[in-house]
Amino acid sequence: MYLAMHSVHPESAPVPTPAAATLLDRDHSILAFNERVLDWARRPDVPLVERLKYLCIVSSNLDEFFEVRAAPHITAMQSGDQKGLYTVDSFEALAVAAHALVAQQYVLYNDELMPAFARENIRIVAHGERDEAQRRWVLSHFEREVRPLLVPVGLDPAHPFPQVANKSLNFIVRLSGRDAFGRENDIAIVKVPRVLPRLIRMPDRVSGGQTLFVSLSSVIRAHLDLLFPGRQVGEFSQFRVTRHSDLAVDEDEVKNLRTALRLGLQHRHYGQAVRLEVSAGCSEHLSDFLLKQFNLPAPALYRVHGPVNLARLIQLSDLLDVPQLRFAPYQGCYPRALVPGQSFFDRLKQGDVLIHQPFESFEGVLAFLREAVNDPDVLAIKQTIYRTGTDSEMMVLLREAVRRGKEVTVVVELKARFDEEANINWAEMLESIGAQVLYGVVGLKTHAKMLLITRREGKRLVRYAHLSTGNYNPRTAKLYTDLSHLTADTQLTQDVEQVFLHLASQSKLPKLHHLLVAPFQLHRKMIEKIDALCVAGAGCEDGRIVAKMNALTDEALIAALISAGQRGVKIDLIVRGACMLPAQVPGLTDNIRVRSVIGRFLEHSRVFYFRCGKEEELFLSSADWMNRNMLRRVELAWPVTDPALRQRVVDECLVAYLHDGCDAWDLGGDGRYRRIDAVRAAKGTQRQAHSVQNALMARYAARSGAQDE
């Protein structure tokens, strides 16, 4: 079965060249993605605790956005730049969009989510709402658990403004009266330790049959006067500063990358300030003082009507035992192509296996490695590690493999953003017990996901491989959609071996059979495959491209897609996040449709499909279509050559997503995304909504039941 084509608008003007296309702004596209995530927090059909989680996810995403993307805009504003990619205008436009998104978050938090929790007798109780018994309990908690950890700092020439860590909670206080030495220093700072929980549940004896919480900021705010005996507390505000946190290490200048990164981690919390959050009621005197301290322009100030860190409210979901307010639990079934207890090596001799996570369990991948570790005939294990987490069974298995005398080679990407420390710790542990630990290639991130097992079978050495679109992280494997590919294909496993040898020796890659590798030929090959459909022209009337990825920002790939669309190729792009290609622009990109699907699980799989006539190719990949993935990372793409497996990927990862009528958003010619069910309702064509993720969960749950029988 081939992919169904979408309708094409007739051309209303001469076809312009791709150079005439004005690309969408990447940073604004990232913010638009977060607006789509925030929509899940608005949806009444989503359980209440899950709605709060989506609100927290947006806050966490915005933190990372500012930490990684904001510094050049801030610098341009401070320098008064009027030309180039980053200018005063670009900063101001981005600030307007970011402020609007933050305002939406707090309106949703205050006007919808907190009242909805209150209807369930779950409340975060402010100081003014507490009765006398509750105030006594909060005071006791403050004196016992909080006050001993606070060190208020009165500012004067001997006590300069303290170092404030990235994203930490702090208070600024304006005092009247004189200090112990008779001076009128009126500003003090209170830094709040990260070890303190941001939400505290009140005991039943003072909760009156409800589930009540107090926020740490509220506890401190109510007792600020106790921190400054003999002074009067006047104006005050909680505040939080976000800092640029992208580690920059000149790999050509360092002798030991691991040591350099560990040193860099010590300074990450104190990088350039890029955003300041304060309470909505913060006086201009205090906010101006803080802006000056952090050298920030006024638009970098965010006045919020609530806690300055909504992301930390995720703790509320951990503290609540209310199954009716959560998604029904979902456990992916054991991969359908595998039989528990059957040897993976025997099974892979019969053909390749695909695992569609999280609908099928990551346990299949762990079981593959577990068998390899325990099999005395397995001689060597090679694996890449990008994000595996701090508590990983996979790393424990690799350690056991070393203990059993197997040759273990691990390529650990130390520069995986915000996972650097965990990866450094794993690298040091494996090195200490004798594993061969590599850090990839200087100047490149190793983002490829591959595992290679070498086994002695009689007089031969036989290879088995696992390739994946996602990380070797059992926790995120339950939350992200990804595809795992297990194979004993001689040519494909030989290719994987060559990539490992390249990463170890940095010798030139030989010609490979199936794998496409960035930064060498992956970018060029993808463009060639797009261009090939253009060349086919009228000889390929049903030329078709469908690509599913997390982001599309590479300008050369975008230009190739626009050219192909202008020559009649029908193109569907399923892009979860940032997309710079302007779809459905009359006379320019009529043949290109861009869709974003935001669901219960984070869409993470990368699938690239090309068809001309009856000839079709389908690739899985670790890479998004971004310049950094194509040219500054080690990435893989590989074909699915088995017709049955290829059709399964087409059905489950492409066709189903193009027909989602519940969680999908389509990008319009005006550069805006609209939820597909809202569009259909406006057109009067609303029908039973179809959620692709719900359908896949139901399909695999049914198979799990059949397996249990």
Beta bridge partners of 276: 241, 301
Helix ranges (DSSP H) in 125-237: 132-141, 216-222
DSSP E strand stretches across 49-148 = 122-124
Instruction: Answer whether the bond into residue 519 is a cis peptide, omega within 30°.
Output: yes
Cα 587 to chain center, whole Å? 35
Catalytic residue among 223, 244, 356, 447: 447
Reduced 3-state DSSP string for 357-412: ECCECCHHHHHHHHHHHHCCCEEEEEEEECCCCCCCHHHHHHHHHHHCCCEEEEEE
Q: What is the enclosing helix (H) or strand (E) of 683?
A: helix 676-683
The dihedral sign for the CA sequence 577, 578, 581, 586 = positive
378 and 406 in contact (C-beta within 8 Å)? yes
Nearest-angstrom CA–CA distance, 71 and 166:
14
> Residue 487 forms beta bridges with which residues?
465
Cβ–Cβ under 8 Å, residues 423 and 242: no
What angle is formed at CA 653 by the lines to CA 652 and CA 657, rounded to 5 degrees? 95
Per DSSP, what are the bridge partners of residue 486? 353, 466
Q: What is the end-to-end Cα distance of the chain in Å, rounded?
A: 31
State the DSSP code for 516. E
Structure tokens, 483: 């595809």
CA distance readout (Å), 657 to 30, 146, 565: 21, 50, 20
CB atoms within 10 A of CB 708: 8
- Rounded CA separation 653/640 (Å): 13
Cis (ω within 30 of 0) for the bond into 358? yes
Q: What kind and span of H or E run contains 201?
A: strand 199-201
Closest Cα to residue 17, out of 563, 623, 653, 621? 563
Between 26-42 and 88-108, two packed helices, what is the crossing angle to 10 degrees?
A: 10
Cα dihedral 9, 10, 13, 16 sign: positive
Instruction: Give phi and psi for 156, each to the nearest 5.
Output: -160, 180
Q: What is the sign, positive or negative, of the torsion defined by CA atoms of 284, 285, 287, 288? A: positive
Instruction: Write the DSSP string, 411-473.
Output: EE-TTSTT-HHHHHHHHHHHHHTT-EEE---TT-EE---EEEEEEEETTEEEEEEEEESS-S-
Reduced to 3 states, what is the DSSP secondary structure of residue 230?
Answer: coil
Q: Alpha helix locations (H) across 509-548?
A: 522-536
- Whether 447 is a known active-site residue: answer yes
Alpha-carbon gap, residue 685 to 674, rounded angstroms? 15
DSSP-derived secondary structure letter, 70: S
| Phi, psi at 287, each rounded to 5° | -65, -40
Please list, in sequence order, all residues whose beta carbon lies within 8 angstroms of the beta carbon of residue 197, skipping any fewer than 6 positions away: 216, 315
Q: Are 49 and 320 in contact (CB under 8 A)?
A: yes
Residue count of the chain, please give it.
Answer: 709
Distance CA 458, CA 460 (A): 6
The Cα–Cα gap between 304 and 281 comes to 9
Pick from 567, 591, 593, 617: nearest CA to 673:
593
Distance CA 161, CA 166 (A): 15
Residues annotated as catalytic (active site), given as ranges: 447
